[in-house]
Structure formats: C-alpha cells, structure tokens
Structure 1
Amino acid sequence: MGGVGRVSTARASETRAAWLFISPWVLGFLVFTLYPLIYTGYLSLTDYDVINDPSFVGLDNYHQLVQDPKVRLALTNTFIFAVLSVPTQLVLSFLLALLLNRAGRASGFFRTAFFLPKMTPAVAIGVLLLLLFNGQNGLVNTFLGWFGINGPAWTTDPNWIKPGLVMMSLWTVGASVVILLAALRSVPQELYDASRIDGAGFWRQTRHITIPMVSSAIFFIVIIDTIAAFQSFTEAYTAYFGSGNSTYSNDAALFYAIYLFQQAFRFLHMGYASAMSMLLFVIIMAVTAIQIRVSRGSVYYESEQA
C-alpha cells in the first residue's frame, strides 16, 4: 500500500508540474482568446459605437447581415481568393521544396532565401503590389512587353484584381516551403531505393511515395493557408483602400475582413462588426471541419502506423 501511495503522490506532483508549465499558455488563451470571443459574441447582440454604452438589440445585427449586399460581395470575393490562392501556394511551395530537397548542401542558403520574403511587412507587400502590377508601367507588364504580350490592368480591371492579389500572395510561400522540406527530409530513403528496384521513376515516386508520406504536412498547410485566406486584409487594404484614392478602391478587392474593419473603425458599428466576426468564425470552423472530414483516410500519420 505504501508503494501505491508513493506512486499516487509522484503522479500528483507531475500533474501539478505539468499545469505549472502550461499555465502561461492557459492564462493567455483565457485572457486573449476565450474572453474576447465571448465578449465579441455579446457585442454582436448590441448596438455599440464605442462612445456610448452597448444597447441590447437581440438578433438585429444578424438579420442585417443576411440583407447586406456588401456582406455577400465580400464573402464571394473572399471565397474566390481562397479557392485561387490556397492551391496555387501549395503547388508552388511543394515544387520549391522538391527542388531544395535535391539541392544538397546549397539547400541551406536557398531555404533562407525563400523564407526571407515572409519577413516582409504586409503593408510593404501591398505597396509592392501596386509597383509590380501597375497596368501602365509596372514591372510585370514591362516584362510581358518584352515578349510582345500586352499585360492587363491588374490594379483597375475587376477581372484581374483578384488574380493579381493571388500572384502577390506567392511572395510569402517561404514558410510552407520550409515545412514541406522538413517533411521531405523525414521520408525514409529505403522506400525510394525499393521503388527504383521496381523500376519506378521520379514522377511515380512522387505520386506514390512522396505525396502520401508528406500528406500530413500538406494537410496542415492547407488548413493554415485557408484560414489565412479567409482573414486576408492588409495587402489588399493597403493597395486598394488605404491610400484614400478612389481609383484603387474597387469592389473586386473588398474582402470580408476589409468590410468588417470598415464597419468597426470607419463607421463605428462595433455591434455589427462583432456579428460579422462571429459569422467569419463560424465559416472558418465549418470549412476546417469539412477539410478534416474529407482528409480522413488520405492523410498519413506515422504515429498511427506504429
């Protein structure tokens, strides 16, 4: 019995130590995540303009969401951007990771070079977008002109604004490249050696070995990039709305987070903006749940194979 008591005491001590170590995270989650989420839910049921006290209005803000055409426009733009940007970023980052994986000792330098643009402030990327994709004298159209191609009006034509933003989002794929490269380095070399004996070439190895073995990293990147796409704000706002120049204020660039920001800090409709925040939270949760559901059985986890 004495031994059992000592084991129980040791386990209790370990439990207290564990809670002590994770307490900073728990405290941060309660203060900076859970409480703001609950308070936002409360504000979404009120009419609040920051100056005066919140006034309870029930579900009026949510009824207004359903009827607001700008909300539908912003959601449509955001969904289109997410559908275009997430696969594009994933494919490019995977191809770059494959190249780096075959670069040998030079991969360290290129890994750093690919990651450095990720450190660029988002506001600077928005300004850079206008410089690169200016329809008159931007560097992209200048480059296309060398081959006799008349480039489109990236920043003013509604049909090209979102493709331009998608292309600009590729500036920050470095983080995904680093994650995928680490996953590629963990694939057992024995699998490639056995496949070569069976006559498998590079593309068959990539399809049947590489992609399945790094599918967990791919799935993680898809989740993170999807969430980031739904929250996309700074680059588009800086390029098309932040200057105050109506020339660049095109509805094709009105993302959901931008419209939410305008309602909250331009019109001081904090209650309505809170309702928009809760809607975005529900949409992201629903999309993430669908992605998790769809990925079942197709994502490889090494721990589950042990």
Structure 2
Amino acid sequence: MSVAERERQSRSSPPRRTRQRAPDNKAALAFLGPWLAGAVVLTLGPILASLYLAFTDYNLLQDASWVGAENFERMLTDGRLHQSLFVTFAYVAISVPGQLLVALGLALVLDRGLRGRAIYRSAFYLPSLLGASVAIAVLWRLVFGGSGLFNGLLGLVGIQSTTSWIGDPDTALGTIILLHVWTFGSPMVIFLAGLRQIPGELYEAAASDGAGPWRRFLAITLPLLTPIIFFNLVLAVINSFQSFTQAFIVSGGSGGPSDSLLFYTLYLYQEGFSSFRMGYASALAWLLVLIIGAFTAINFWLSKHWVHYDN
C-alpha cells in the first residue's frame, strides 16, 4: 500500500476515540433520562401551565377562561395583597440580617478552637433542620401563647404577663422573625468553613504591626469573608421570601390578628386553595418570581462594590 493510499484511508476512517464516544453518550443519556423526564413533567410543565393560568379565570372545577391581564390589574387594588407584601418585606428586612449576624458571631466563637467544637457545631446546626418543620411551628405557638413558656420565664424575673404574643398584632410578626433567626445553623456552618480558609499568617502579621482584635476583624476577616457573606445573603433572601410553614401553623392559616402574619406565600395559598381562584394565585406566583429575581439581580449588581475575591 502506497503512502498516499494510507493517508487517504486515515482521513476517511474516524479515530478510535470518536467511534467510542457515541456509545458513551448513549449511556449518559440513558442515566440522565429519568431526571430529564422528571424535569420536563414535574418542573417545566407546571411552570408553563402556571404561566398560562395567570392570564385565565380558573377555579379548579371548571375549564379555565382567558381574561388577559385582568389578574395583574387586580393586584393594583388588592388591599390584602399589599398587606402581605408589607409583612413579607418587613420579615425579610429584619430576619435576614439578624440571622446572618447571629450565624457569623457564633462562627467566630467556634473558630477560636473551643474544645468539643464538633459537638457545638452539630448542636447549633440542629435548628436549621427542624426550624421549618410543622412540629417546631406548633411548639413555637405554645411557647408564645398566653400561658406559654415565654410568659413563664418573664414571671421568674418578676414580670407578670398573660399576653398572647402571637395573638397581638404588634408582636406576632416578631415571634416569627425570632424563629427564623433561631435557624442560624446552616449559614453558621458555611461561615465557619470560610473562616477556616483564611490564612493564619495574615493575623500574625497584623498582630505584629499592633492591630487589635477588632481591627484584624475589619481589615482581614470581613473582607476575605465577603464572598461567603454574599452567598449566604442571596440564599437567605430567596428562602425568606418563600417562608410559609411557620406563618401558616402559628396563625392557623388565617394570617394572624389584623393580617399581621399574612405572608405573601400564605396569601397565595389562600387564594388558590381556600378561595379556589387558581388563576389569580398563578399570577401571584409569577409576581413572587419577579420579586425574588429582582432582589437577586440587585444583590449581584451591588456585590461588585463590596465583595472581594482573591483575584
């Protein structure tokens, strides 16, 4: 066989690696098939269906009828929607910074090398696993009731109170915010992992230059921890806007006294599954998507002004 024929044959026949790539791709698609099917049927399908229903009048019992932008126009004059937005924004604005501050403070304490740190870390992480459960919400309702544990503790210090803290419009939201702050375990563990990545040589150099603990925190710890703070902030904001179980259980599904616990998700649930206005509930769901997307975009836009990366 001549040299020219060999070159021609080598060009016409694909490499062995290329021939073996097709079976590998088929195997990968076979393993990904159930997940892809679930994503289309259980995620993409309902998303598209809710987008269509947002422009319809649908009560779960009759066929949906197209009403155009009527559901969105109704939002402009819906007083309970405005109340739910106020309650939710207040909840996010107070609970998110409070949770992150508590998580960061405890992470700094645990980072000092306490004996039995793994035990403390597990104990502090436990509220994050239980905080969103129905059982804890029921317990919270009992603790802050008129004859609950909180009033009992106040009695021990000489303050006699029979106030139902979840039944008072002025304090009901505060009890839910306290419950959210109590679930600081997950961001605390992430903060602790970030603190362990900061080189100790930086603290030694700063200490040799006369920097005190507070100065070292502001000049070293905080700037190097900003990517972790940003990550926890984005997750906390998204999760807070979707809070539902605590408000539903504590308020009994009604929204609490004077709608002081009428979270946005709770109002969405009431419209869809109590009033059977599923079309309007779908429109509310898409408004929530836009709100969360807007806050996430704002966080990413602002991050370039305060988040510092190694590079």
Structure 2 SS opposite 1:81: helix
Identity of aligned residues (%): 39
8 Å CA contact 2:96, 2:181 repeated in 1:
no
Code of the aligned partner of 2:281: A
Structure 2 SS opposite 1:159: coil
Change (3 A) 1:149 1:40: same
TM-score (norm 1): 0.87
Change (3 A) 1:76 1:99: same
List per-residue Cα deviations over 1:92-150 (Å, max 9, x = no partner): 0000111111134411111111111222252122212212222x322223223333446
Change (3 A) 1:269 1:146: same
Q: Which of 122, 133, 137 is matched with 1:126 structurally?
A: 137
> Which residue number in structure 1 is paired with residue 3 of structure 2?
none
**1:292 matches 2:300:** yes
CA distance in 2, matches of 1:296, 1:18: 42
* Post-superposition offset of 1:240: 0.6
Code of the aligned partner of 2:199: P
CA distance in 2, matches of 1:22, 1:193: 50
User: For 1:61-210, what aligned pairs fall within 5 Å after superposition?
Assistant: 61-120=71-130, 122-134=133-145, 136-149=146-159, 153-210=164-221
Which has the higher mean CA deviation after the structures are superposed, 137-146 or 55-64? 137-146
Change (3 A) 1:12 1:165: same
Code of the aligned partner of 2:230: F
CA distance in 1, matches of 2:227, 2:23: 31
8 Å CA contact 2:169, 2:257 repeated in 1:
no
* Post-superposition offset of 1:269: 0.7
Change (3 A) 1:15 1:220: farther
8 Å CA contact 1:156, 1:250 repeated in 2:
no
* Post-superposition offset of 1:71: 0.5
CA distance in 1, matches of 2:268, 2:251: 15
TM-score (norm 2): 0.86
Larger Rg: 2
Code of the aligned partner of 2:270: Q
Change (3 A) 1:56 1:298: same
Change (3 A) 1:108 1:14: farther
> Which residue number in structure 2 is paired with residue 227 of structure 1?
238
CA distance in 2, matches of 1:113, 1:210: 25
Code of the aligned partner of 2:279: G
Unmatched runs of 5 consecutive residues or more in structure 2: 1-6
Q: CA RMSD in A?
A: 2.7
> Which residue number in structure 2 is paired with residue 57 of structure 1?
67
Unmatched runs of 5 consecutive residues or more in structure 1: none
Which has the higher mean CA deviation after the structures are superposed, 191-200 or 78-87? 191-200
CA distance in 2, matches of 1:115, 1:131: 23
Code of the aligned partner of 2:62: N
8 Å CA contact 1:61, 1:272 repeated in 2:
yes
Which has the higher mean CA deviation after the structures are superposed, 142-151 or 67-76? 142-151
CA distance in 1, matches of 2:302, 2:284: 27
Number of residues of Structure 1 aligned to a counterpart in Structure 2? 298
CA distance in 2, matches of 1:193, 1:72: 53
